């Protein structure tokens, strides 16, 4: 006779759609089967979570794991291991790989590579290209496709779509929300000599200035409103964008990153050099303050790490030849828990930004909340423990973090994916069994 539950999580403090509650969770067949007092109920396995807090499984909807063509850089195995160790249960991978993910064949290749190697559930964005425009309405419905990613500023190969005609054609093709990197390409080209003349990453936010971001964001939102197509503005960094987007929420949603919420210029560039270089740039503290205000007033819809794990040897190239990007999937949760401890946001707001928000924006099926019938995905955290983030903890192949030596309050202590504990107390358990995410078409 089978037991009523496969797993019971007892005595935890759960962040649910009804608020923060102290209760038990019963799991059966990878899904949440019961919430409430399960005294007397039996299960194949039980975990006592007294003193711990259970968030709905964290979804990082913005990572770059670099596969295929990863070579000595990140790949799905190491990137997803970093995710699981950081309390993340699912990731959306971006298409600017070599070759880029722009066709059904390259998407299928990524799904094949992920099977048996990814520790967490996964979806893959398809990159918008001029060549692919006639097919994107069909392709965005493919299994495992997280949606369409648009680059309005330079990226890998042909992943650049900047003219109004091309953007309008993209917005008229398909129905799902388009994720967009908004920096104006012509302004970036015009201002690059500023970076070359300075020769130091402190010039990065002046080269890729607030105006470059605002121009692109305004253009895209104007065209999106005309086409009645929803867009998701990735890694917003400026007070000007926040003010504009607050008045255009009908068709535009907003992502910010923990890096832009934590670091500030010019200090980070003087201390970290090119390790602080990412696109769009880390900006001055007044921009960071505007992002926090946007979290408080509800303008921000989701958090993503923009995990881009370049090797130290690559980052050591002279600026501006040095690549932009920094690892972040493993530190997203510790950083945001530290901000929680500092009173900058609530548990409920954190859960909405990292779980319910991504699920709602991108039509994820069965993810994003602790509720009966949903996948049994949990990020278990200790809100009181203090830890120091260190390079030696980073599972990513890059082996570094811009937050090396930073003391934080709050830490992920277990990651549960579809009822299976895949990380506990800093150790991966079992074997990789991440599955393709399911999306509403």
The set of catalytic residues is 306
Residue 184's φ and ψ, nearest 5 degrees, are -75, 120
Question: Which residue pairs from 266-273 have beta carbons closer than 8 angstroms and sit at least 24 positions apart in sequence?
Answer: 266/202, 268/402, 269/200, 269/201, 269/202, 269/204, 270/202, 272/402, 273/200, 273/201, 273/315, 273/319
Residues 6+ apart with CB under 8 A from 421: 47, 414, 415, 429, 430
Strand-pair category, 427-428 with 420-424:
antiparallel
Q: Determine the Cα–Cα distance for residues 28 and 364; give it in Å rounded to an integer.
A: 20
Question: If you write DSSP's letter for every residue of 152-216 in order, what string do you get?
Answer: SS--STT----SHHHHHHHHTS-SSPEEEE---HHHHHHHHHHHHHH-SGGGHHHHT-HHHHHHH
Q: Determine the Cα–Cα distance for residues 212 and 5; give it in Å rounded to an integer.
A: 54
Question: If you write DSSP's letter for every residue of 113-152 in order, what string do you get?
Answer: HHTTT-SSEEEEEEEP-TTTGGGHHHHTTSTTEEEEEEES
- Helix crossing, 210-227 with 185-198: angle to 10°? 170
Q: Determine the Cα–Cα distance for residues 20 and 17; give it in Å rounded to an integer.
A: 8
Q: Determine the Cα–Cα distance for residues 126 and 137; give it in Å rounded to an integer.
A: 11
Of 161, 159, 117, 123, nearest to 140 (Cα)?
Answer: 123
Of 236, 275, 273, nearest to 252 (Cα)?
Answer: 236
3-state secondary structure of 341: helix
* DSSP designation for 281: P
Q: Determine the Cα–Cα distance for residues 108 and 130; give it in Å rounded to an integer.
A: 21
**Alpha-carbon radius of gyration of the chain:** 21
Residues making up the chain, counted from first to last: 441
Q: Determine the Cα–Cα distance for residues 272 and 340; give it in Å rounded to an integer.
A: 25
Strand-pair category, 407-417 with 420-424:
antiparallel
């Amino acid at each position: 006779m089978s037991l009523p539950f496969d797993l019971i999580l007892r005595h935890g403090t759960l962040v649910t759609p009804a608020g923060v509650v102290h209760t038990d969770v019963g799991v059966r067949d990878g899904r949440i089967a019961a919430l409430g007092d399960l005294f007397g109920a039996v299960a194949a396995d039980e975990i006592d979570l007294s003193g711990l807090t259970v968030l709905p499984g964290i979804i990082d909807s913005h990572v770059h794991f670099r596969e295929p063509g990863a070579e000595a850089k990140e790949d799905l195995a190491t990137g997803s291991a970093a995710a699981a160790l950081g309390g993340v249960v699912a990731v959306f991978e971006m298409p600017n790989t070599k070759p880029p993910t722009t066709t059904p064949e390259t998407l299928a290749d990524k799904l094949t590579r992920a099977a048996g190697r990814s520790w967490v559930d996964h979806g893959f964005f398809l990159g918008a290209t001029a060549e692919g425009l006639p097919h994107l309405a069909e392709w965005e419905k493919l299994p495992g496709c997280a949606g369409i990613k648009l680059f309005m500023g330079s990226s890998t190969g042909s992943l650049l779509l900047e003219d109004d005609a091309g953007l309008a054609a993209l917005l008229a093709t398909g129905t799902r929300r388009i994720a967009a990197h908004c920096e104006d390409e012509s302004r970036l080209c015009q201002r690059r000599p500023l970076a070359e003349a300075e020769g130091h990453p402190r010039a990065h936010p002046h080269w890729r200035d607030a105006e470059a971001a605002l121009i692109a964001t305004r253009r895209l939102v104007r065209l999106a409103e005309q086409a009645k197509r929803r867009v998701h503005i990735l890694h917003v960094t400026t007070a000007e964008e926040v003010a504009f987007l607050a008045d255009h929420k009908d068709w535009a949603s907003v992502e910010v990153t923990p890096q832009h919420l934590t670091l500030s210029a010019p200090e980070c560039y003087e201390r970290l050099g090119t390790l602080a270089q990412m696109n769009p740039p880390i900006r001055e503290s007044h921009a960071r303050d505007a992002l926090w205000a946007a979290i408080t007033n509800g303008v921000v819809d989701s958090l993503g790490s923009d995990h881009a794990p370049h090797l130290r040897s690559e980052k050591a190239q002279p600026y501006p030849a040095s690549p932009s990007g920094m690892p972040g999937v493993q530190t997203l949760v510790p950083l945001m828990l530290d901000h929680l401890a500092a009173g900058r946001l609530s548990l409920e707001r954190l859960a909405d930004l990292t779980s319910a928000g991504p699920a709602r924006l991108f039509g994820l099926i069965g993810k994003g909340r602790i509720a009966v019938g949903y996948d049994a995905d949990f990020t278990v955290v200790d809100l009181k423990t203090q830890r120091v983030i260190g390079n030696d903890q980073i599972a990513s192949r890059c082996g570094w973090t811009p937050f090396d030596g930073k003391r934080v309050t709050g830490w992920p202590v277990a990651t549960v994916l579809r009822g299976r504990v895949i990380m506990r107390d800093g150790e991966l358990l079992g074997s990789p069994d991440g599955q393709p995410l399911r999306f509403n078409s």
